[in-house]
Amino acid sequence: MLCGMAKNEVKIRDKMITSRRLIAAVGSLLAREGFKGVGVNAVAREAGVDKKLIYRYFGGLPGLIGAFGKEGDFWPSLLELAGGDLQAFGRMPLEDRLSAFSRNFIAALRRRPLTVAIMAWEVVEANELTRELEAVREERIMDFFRMFFVSELPDEDRQAGIMIVGAGVNYLLIRSGHIDIYGGIGLVTDDDWDRIAAGIDRLIEGLIG
Partner DNA sequence: ACAACATATCACCACTCGGTGACAAAAATC
Partner DNA sequence: GATTTTTGTCACCGAGTGGTGATATGTTGT
Which positions touch a copy of itself (CB under 8 A)?
Answer: 36, 120, 122-126, 138, 141-142, 155-161, 163-172, 174-175, 178, 182-185, 195-196, 198-203, 205-209
Alpha-carbon distance of 39 to 84, in angstroms, equals: 38
CB-based contacts of 66: which residues, under 8 Å, 6+ apart? 58, 128, 129, 132
Nearer to DNA, 15 or 91 (CB): 15
Instruction: Calculate helix-pair angle for 156-175, 113-124, nearest 10 degrees.
Output: 110
Partner whose binding site includes residue 10, from a copy of itself, DNA, none (CB under 5 to 8 Å by kind): DNA
Stretch that binds DNA, among 9-17, 126-134, 142-150, 189-197 (CB under 7 A): 9-17
DSSP code for 186: E
- Site track 59-78 with DNA (rule: CB under 7 A), x = hit: -xx-----------------
Stretch that binds DNA, among 40-48, 85-93, 109-117, 138-146 (CB under 7 A): 40-48
Partner whose binding site includes residue 108, from a copy of itself, DNA, none (CB under 5 to 8 Å by kind): none
Partner whose binding site includes residue 169, from DNA, a copy of itself, none (CB under 5 to 8 Å by kind): a copy of itself
Nearer to DNA, 39 or 168 (CB): 39
Q: Is the CB of residue 81 less than 8 Å from the CB of residue 105?
A: yes
Q: Phi, psi at residue 113, to the nearest 5°?
A: -60, -30
Q: Is the CB of residue 145 less than 8 Å from the CB of residue 105?
A: no
Partner whose binding site includes residue 77, from a copy of itself, DNA, none (CB under 5 to 8 Å by kind): none
Best CA proximity match to 130, nearest among 118, 144, 114, 120: 118
